[in-house]
Chains A and B, each alone.
Chain A
Amino acid sequence: MQQINPFRPGFSLGERAESLDRHPDGRWRIVTDRGHVHVAPAVFIAGGLGSFEPRKPPIEHIEQYEGKGVEYFVRNPEDFRGQRVVIAGGGDSALDWAIYLANEVRELTLVHRRTEFRGALDSVEKMQHLAQTGKIKLVTNAQVVGLKGPDRLEKISVLHDTEGAFDLETDYFLPLFGLTPKLGPIADWGLALDKGAIEVNTLDYSTNLSGVFAIGDINTYPGKLKLILCGFHEATLACQSAFNIVNPGKKLSFKYTTVTGIEGMETPAIPATS
């Protein structure tokens, strides 16, 4: 923070950029998941591996039930009070939520592909105790393979390794298989992509959208190396082009800040937000 302080940037932390489109005045507009709007002449995407998204099990039609009984996160445990809930998974998040919700919900079923659980030993023991006392219905060596219901989720199909398939009525299905890095909303911004990375021109790391740059692990070009050293280099070159967009007609002169310091930083460089 001390290092960036002379530049006095604005920060928008704990939010995810959801959309990128052209503002009527020609600049770019980014809207975050909390509804904050940022408008700027140039945008740098330095998103690393992307955002961490829930790992979705390969169950047919699962998207159609998202928000209608299928949830990948427990946002508010109150939502499940008095309901029938099926949790799938064998890691810490599946165990923790199974233990927590067991006393809140009407019926809790935990489905896991294997007999052993890899979560913390303490959680495994707690869960097993709840299973013995009937608070958790434990189904191991089984996977959820189907979702049913004309609109909202009403039943899930479970396939057991030896006992075959059966249906289970439920109000909620929570597949908790951890998180995986994905591009997330960036994939829908109209950027040219190659294998999940943003294609850039190595002249200035610009993307196919004029004024939008991509730097670091999120971009790709012939010879790309995912090294922090290269990321800094990419940012530096992108800044040269961005300068011309932000200051049209102004001549850019290259200077060493170690020799001349940083001039012109008296006015805070706060991007337009609303």
Chain B
Amino acid sequence: MSDTIQITVIDRDNQPHQLEAPTDMGLNLMELCKSYELPVQGTCGGMALCASCHVYIRSNHALPEPSDDELAMLDSAFFVQENSRLGCQIKLRDTLEGLEVQLAPESV
């Protein structure tokens, strides 16, 4: 299956999950996590407006630069680190084979 990549998502209890991600469906990382029923809310539906899909990028993959909207959201989110990104802004494509991310703590 050439249209599939493997992604590791580490949940908030430090448990790794191996996810098979299709790259031909225009999915983003938030949607993938939701389809595997990982505890990612994606409240705003992928508009970079809620930060409920906040993740830390643990592998050295070259990701597209965050948009202004994403940076603005990360600016008012909590638990933000250097490697923070919003899952909803990360389109799943074949260059992300082996990507490893960790779910950021949930904000109240």
Task: Using CB atoms and an 8 Å cutoff, list the residues of chain A in contact with chain B.
Answer: 49, 55-58, 89-91, 113-114, 118, 177-178, 180-181, 195-196, 226
Contacts and interface: CB of A to CB of B under 8 A. Distances in A.
Given A49-B43, A114-B75, A181-B44, 10 more contacts: A55-B76, A55-B77, A56-B107, A58-B79, A58-B108, A89-B76, A118-B72, A178-B76, A181-B43, A181-B50
Given A91-B72, A196-B43, A180 B78 contact: no
A180 B43 contact: yes
A180 to B, nearest CB: 5
Q: How large is the interface on B (under 10, 10 to 19, 20 to 34, 35 or more residues)?
A: 10 to 19
Contacts, number: 42
Contacts of A89: 76
A57 B41 CA distance: 18
A150 B107 CA distance: 26
B80 interface: yes
Contacts of A178: 76
Contacts of A196: 41, 43
Listed from nearest, the 7 A-B pairs whose CB atoms lie closest are A177-B76, A178-B76, A118-B75, A118-B72, A58-B78, A91-B76, A90-B75
B16 interface: no
B76 A90 contact: yes
Q: Is the interface of A mostly helix, strand, loop or mixed?
A: loop
21 contacts: A49-B44, A55-B77, A57-B78, A58-B79, A58-B107, A89-B76, A90-B75, A90-B76, A91-B72, A113-B75, A114-B75, A177-B77, A178-B76, A180-B43, A180-B51, A181-B43, A181-B44, A181-B49, A195-B41, A196-B41, A196-B43
A113 B107 contact: no
B75 A91 contact: yes
Contact of B50 (A91, A118, A180, A226): A180
A55 B51 CA distance: 10
Given A55-B107, A58-B78, A114-B75, A226 B45 contact: yes
B75 A58 contact: no
B98 interface: no
Contacts of B51: 180
Nearest to B43: A181
A180 B76 CA distance: 10
B18 to A, nearest CB: 23
Which of B43, B79, B105 has the most chain A CB within a 10 Å cutoff? B43
B45 A58 contact: no
A197 to B, nearest CB: 10
A49 B49 CA distance: 12
Contacts of B49: 181
B23 to A, nearest CB: 23
